[in-house]
Chain A
């Protein structure tokens, strides 16, 4: 391989700079996890003494956190179901059929990723407010599905493209009807993709702030909204522990996706994480054409 050799000084500069940038990305997360175990919540870093007190305080009597946590989990679970149903049908339509106006449908599906979330949130507020559905978990889940379904569609489209269509045709040729083919052939083969899409939908909803903020009422507050309120208005040191839990949920979810992909053997060509095609990235502009 003919390669332009880099100078030693250049390599050192680049190495130092990129280490600093990686630190820039990782530091806020590390700081939260470490501080959440520190005795003095807002004190020095690294903490001088350690405690699990903040975690215990979360579940103490009169704490608002368990309610917020269970609401978030409920909303995220509903979002996962909705977005898997929409994702699977939409991916099937986009990958496995002759769809008139295919690019228009695809553009519509991906559009929520590039439209400012505040606009989506405002629109949903105007939709649900007259119906007096503000604060209803279903309304929040329906809103989150707008953001989660494009991600599910992209993952499931990639999954379906990876399944040999001839397997389905073979089953059909031996007399299996569409439903049987789907249930016995497509679904088992698409399972890793479904799990990944489900996990990403769950996390998208679990972490979503702006739509929840607009659609919540005084007594239905999701976890991120509660965290935001605490950060903005009153100081509650246990918020660090909640943040650490949110980090743990995201990391566990990503690890799960990694494991599922590894087990199914589909992870090899796609790298460690399903970052392509632009997972969570506003890929709409290029792909919508």
Chain B
């Protein structure tokens, strides 16, 4: 959120740092620059009022005591008792979901990256179209599928699987299945983009030097895909953290996530301060994830540069 304090205003003399080497006055006298500032103004003003300011006021509210004044007690509340449990549940379900979405996405993306263009296009359609269909609707589809008399349990019963029908709804299995289905298109698309760029002759080269298939996979393929795996995994985790719909509809008591807690505190308990603190915690976790990605990316680049230099 580097843009927070740095809204470029077309007003001359605005305290904007000078771009590049040129002075601000010179930059403003340039027609192209003025034109750009003029055009950037609507979106910047809009987002400052309806995006940055609301988040800022959330932050302020989370630090305000019941009778005014500064307090951290909403945050200590958030890390205590039932609230702490919900935070940990959120982290656990997000981790489980990201891992599953990553593994499943890896299999599907690597299969699609080897298909002929026509088939790859069709398979991609099956990945992308659901992504644009409301997650709410897809979650409802899973509720129909996973119910006691749903398709999945009927199939399990018909195959005489011991223990069938299995309880698949209103527990963690249901939440993880439903959330993974929502997150899967992200991981598939991100991994596919990386896999498509891999020079498959490298694999053949490794084989020609006598490497077995498992060795090739482990020592050549996975390292090549690793940046994509990290990217997809962290982004998926971040998106899960604040996710509400599927856990709320498919989970039970024990699968309450932070977003549900925020919803409940605002809508039912009128507890805005506590909700704000939880929101800010989610935000900080998201920033931590993005920062981690950035660090890993530059670390990876440094490693690669050293590899080429030596």
Output the nearest chain B residue to A103 by Cβ-Cβ distance.
B2
| Chain A 215-238 interface mask (CB, 8 Å, partner B; 1/0) | 000000000100110011000000
Question: Is the pair A246, B133 in contact by a Cβ cutoff of 8 Å?
Answer: yes
Question: Is the pair B189, A115 in contact by a Cβ cutoff of 8 Å?
Answer: no
Residues of A within 8 A of B248 (CB): 232
Interface bracket on B: 35 or more
CB distance from B215 to the nearest CB of A (A): 12
Residues of B within 8 A of A272 (CB): 121, 124-125
* B225: interface (CB < 8 Å): no
Give the interface segment out of A29-37, A49-57, A59-67, A185-193.
Answer: A29-37
* B53: interface (CB < 8 Å): yes
CB distance from B243 to the nearest CB of A (A): 8
Residues of B within 8 A of A104 (CB): 2-3, 6
Cα separation A279 to B258 with both chains bound (whole Å) = 27
* A118: interface (CB < 8 Å): yes
State which residues 23-49 of A face B: CB under 8 Å: 24-32, 35, 42-45
Question: Is the pair A27, B127 in contact by a Cβ cutoff of 8 Å?
Answer: no
Question: Is the pair B58, A122 in contact by a Cβ cutoff of 8 Å?
Answer: yes
Output the nearest chain A residue to B18 by Cβ-Cβ distance.
A100
Are A280 and B35 also in contact (CB < 8 A) when A32-B137, A118-B282 are? no
Question: Is the pair A209, B245 in contact by a Cβ cutoff of 8 Å?
Answer: yes
- The one of B19, B30, B123, B130 in contact with A18, judged by C-beta atoms closer than 8 angstroms, is B123
Are A21 and B134 also in contact (CB < 8 A) when A31-B144, A89-B43, A107-B1 are? no
- Between A and B, 10 residue pairs with Cβ closer than 8 Å are A25-B185, A26-B130, A28-B140, A89-B39, A93-B36, A97-B35, A118-B259, A126-B57, A127-B50, A275-B124
Are A100 and B27 also in contact (CB < 8 A) when A18-B108, A89-B42, A146-B47 are? yes
State which residues 267-287 of A face B: CB under 8 Å: 271-273, 275-276, 278, 280-282, 284-286
State which residues 1-30 of A face B: CB under 8 Å: 1-4, 6-7, 10, 14-15, 17-18, 21-22, 24-30
Chain A residues within CB distance 8 Å of chain B: 1-4, 6-7, 10, 14-15, 17-18, 21-22, 24-32, 35, 42-45, 85-87, 89-90, 92-94, 96-101, 103-105, 107-109, 111-112, 114-120, 122-127, 142-143, 145-146, 149, 153, 178, 203, 207, 209-210, 213-214, 224, 227-228, 231-232, 239-240, 243, 246-247, 250-251, 253-254, 271-273, 275-276, 278, 280-282, 284-286, 288-289
Residues of B within 8 A of A7 (CB): 213
- The one of B44, B114, B127, B140 in contact with A32, judged by C-beta atoms closer than 8 angstroms, is B140
* B37: interface (CB < 8 Å): yes
State which residues 135-165 of B face A: CB under 8 Å: 135-145, 147, 149-151, 154
Cα separation A210 to B129 with both chains bound (whole Å) = 21
